[in-house]
Structures are given as C-alpha cells and as structure tokens.
C-alpha cells in the first residue's frame, strides 16, 4: 500500500472563511485503498477540509489534487464530472424528504441517464443490501430512524461505485450498536472494495476500530487486524493545522501536547 498511487492530496492549503482563518498550511496525502481519519474538536475545520476535497470550497492558497485532478483550480463542469467518482456522506444525512429510499439511492443514477431501469434497480438493491436495508426501499426518510437514514445516505453515496468516499461523522448521534454496524460497513468498503476514504469522526472508538480490525472476505466477517496493516492513518487538526499525521501506533505514542490531551478526553 505504501507505493499505491496518491488519490487525495492537500498541498499547503490555507482557507479563511469570513474573517476566520480556518486552515493554514494543511498538507495531507491519502493513497488508494487507505482510510485517513480526521480528528479534532468542533470547529477545527474537518468539514471544511472535506468540502475542499470536492471543490465545494476553494483554498486561498495551496493546491488540492484528487484522482490526479486539480480540484482547487478546475472549472465547475470538470468538477461535476469528477464528483461522480466520489461518494459523500454529509454530516447531516441530507436525504431528499419527498423521495422514497429507492429514489434517494437512485438519484445520481437517474440523473446520469446512462443506465436502464433494470440496471438501476439492481444497483439500488445491491447498495441497500450493503447497509442491510433492502426492506425499507419504499419508505420515505421521515419514516426511518436516524441510524437508518445515515445508512441510506451511505447507500446513496455508494450508488455510483465511487473510487473515493468522504464520510463526515458517519456515526454522529447514533447509539453504540448502530455506530459499530456502520463502522463495520466502512471497514468492508476499505478492505473488500479498496475504496480510498477521508473520514471525520468525533468518536475515538471509531478510530480505534478502523485501526484494529480488517474485513475477512473469505468468511464475510470482521477480524482483529493482528499486526496486519489496517490501511488506516490519522490526522489531528488543531490551531488551523495538522498537529499529528501518522499511524495508530504513532498516535498513541505521540508526545505532542494537544494529541495527548485529545486522547485523554
Ligand atoms: N461557509 C462558512 N462561512 C463562514 N465560516 C465558516 C463556513 N463554514 C465553516 N466556517 C467556520 O469554519 C470553522 C470550521 O468549521 P467546520 O464546519 O469545518 O468545523 P468541524 O471541524 O467540522 O466541526 P464539527 O465537529 O462541529 O462538525 C468554524 O469556525 C466555522 O464557523
Ligand atoms: Mg463538521
């Protein structure tokens, strides 16, 4: 994995929003099949970083390169094409209230006109099966629990078979069992589909689970990584920059004062 191509790169990125400097000189790299976990307290700039990665925000300085494309400078039409290769699960699930689960998941497939109805239906079923939610296909978002809505949002993001996934607090506000279930599905995407991800979380349990487990495709089950690489790294945002960027072992051994404080909370 160390020599896999870099699929997400921030090079010395700075952005000020309103009068607030949010990020100053942030650099990061995520290789194919790797998950980079963004940690940091509320307001640290985690969601802003994800928005920079898909060009919803543009940096004042520095470059953002995703799948080889210069996101920070490319025209809107080219960005639109690039975004089809990226799945996004926003902090709030952001489902369309007036559409059924099926139509929410099919939304980007319908939009692209490239697939016939049967193929769309098969893809929707497969994506909902991946989050164990096929049975709610004909319901509306308001009829689902928060955790189910989050899983539908993940299914929707998966529909276009993205090479990159951006997850913003996918377990936020969920009970521990549902949260663990969602993390399990994210680990499966990483290890079976080799999806490259940037994942924001407040929960250290999520981070620990990503680092400690891998998906065993043969037995279709989660297994302890047992020293094998879990293809996960961590970045801690504080004071507008990365105070830490490295592996789980390095994170726990870090003597950086903010990292130590963050891990003790
Ligand atoms: N569109 C915007 N206009 C002005 N300021 C913004 C905008 N978006 C974000 N900010 C500011 O940027 C900073 C970082 O916001 P961001 O949403 O990235 O935080 P976060 O790390 O995702 O926090 P949380 O964990 O609460 O979701 C905050 O100070 C926020 O007020
Ligand atoms: Mg946020």
Looking at residue 172, its pLDDT comes to 86
Q: Whole-prediction pTM value?
A: 0.92
Q: Looking at residue 136, what DSSP letter applies?
A: G
**pLDDT exceeds cutoff 90 at 24:** yes
Q: What is the mean pLDDT of residues 142-160?
A: 91
Question: Are both 37 and 125 inside the same structural domain?
Answer: no
Q: Ligand 1: list residues with CB < 6 Å.
A: 17-18, 20, 22, 40, 42-48, 91
* Least confidently predicted of 52-61, 142-151, 173-182: 173-182
Rounded distance from Cα 203 to ligand 2 centre (Å):
13
CA dist., res. 108 & res. 247, Å (int): 35
Within its chain, how far is the Cα of 203 from the centroid?
14
CA gap 201, 110 in Å, rounded: 31
pLDDT of 169 reads 92
Cross-strand pairs, 23 = 15
Determine the pLDDT at residue 113. Answer: 65
Q: Which of 126, 161, 196 is the last residue of a domain?
A: 161
> How far is CA 61 from each of CA 13, 16, 117, rounded to the nearest angstrom?
6, 10, 44
Query: Within a domain: residue 1?
Result: no
- Ligand 1 atom at minimal distance to the Cα of residue 91: 27
Both 65 and 187 in one domain: the answer is yes
CB 195 within 8 A of CB 210: no
Contact 200, 50 (CB under 8 A): yes
pLDDT in tens, 44-57: 999 999 999 999 99
Q: Which ligand is nearest to the CA of 237?
A: 1
Cβ–Cβ < 8 Å for 60, 72: no
The larger pLDDT score, comparing residue 132 to residue 24, is at 24
Same domain, 13 and 71: yes
Determine the Cα–Cα distance for residues 37 and 90; give it in Å rounded to an integer. 15
- Residues contacting 232, CB < 8 A, separation 6+: 34, 35, 36, 37, 190, 210, 211, 247, 248
CATH of residue 51: 3.40.50.300
237 alpha carbon – ligand 2 mean position (Å): 12
pLDDT over 90 at 7, yes or no: yes
170 assigned to some structural domain: yes
Q: Give the range of the structural domain holding residue 42, as residue numbers without chain letter.
A: 6-85+165-264
In tens, the pLDDT along 202-255 reads 888 899 999 999 999 899 899 998 877 789 999 999 999 999 999 999 999 999
What total of structural domains would you count in the chain? 2
Same domain, 198 and 240: yes
């Amino acid at each position: 994995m160390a020599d896999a191509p870099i699929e997400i790169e921030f090079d010395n990125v700075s952005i000020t929003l309103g009068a607030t400097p949010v990020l100053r000189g942030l650099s990061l790299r995520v290789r194919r099949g790797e998950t980079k976990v963004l940690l940091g307290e509320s307001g640290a700039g985690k969601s802003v970083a994800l928005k920079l990665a898909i060009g919803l925000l543009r940096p004042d300085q520095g470059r953002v390169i995703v799948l080889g494309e210069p996101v920070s400078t490319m025209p809107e039409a080219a960005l639109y094409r690039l975004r089809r290769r990226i799945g996004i699960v926003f902090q709030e699930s952001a489902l369309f209230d007036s559409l059924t689960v099926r139509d929410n998941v099919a939304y980007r497939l319908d939009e692209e006109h490239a697939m016939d109805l049967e193929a769309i239906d098969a893809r929707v079923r497969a994506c909902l099966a991946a989050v164990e939610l096929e049975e709610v296909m004909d319901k509306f978002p308001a009829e689902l629990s928060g955790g189910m809505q989050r899983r539908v949002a993940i299914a929707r993001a998966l529909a276009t078979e993205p090479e990159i996934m951006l997850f913003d607090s996918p377990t936020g506000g969920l009970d521990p069992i549902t949260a663990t279930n969602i993390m399990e599905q994210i680990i499966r995407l990483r290890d079976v589909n080799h999806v490259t991800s940037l994942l924001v979380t407040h929960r250290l349990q999520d981070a620990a689970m990503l680092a400690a487990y891998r998906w065993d495709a043969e037995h279709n089950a989660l297994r302890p990584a047992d020293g094998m690489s879990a293809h996960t790294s961590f970045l801690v945002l504080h004071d507008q920059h990365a105070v830490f960027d490295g592996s789980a072992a390095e994170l726990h051994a870090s003597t950086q004062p903010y990292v130590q404080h963050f891990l003790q909370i």
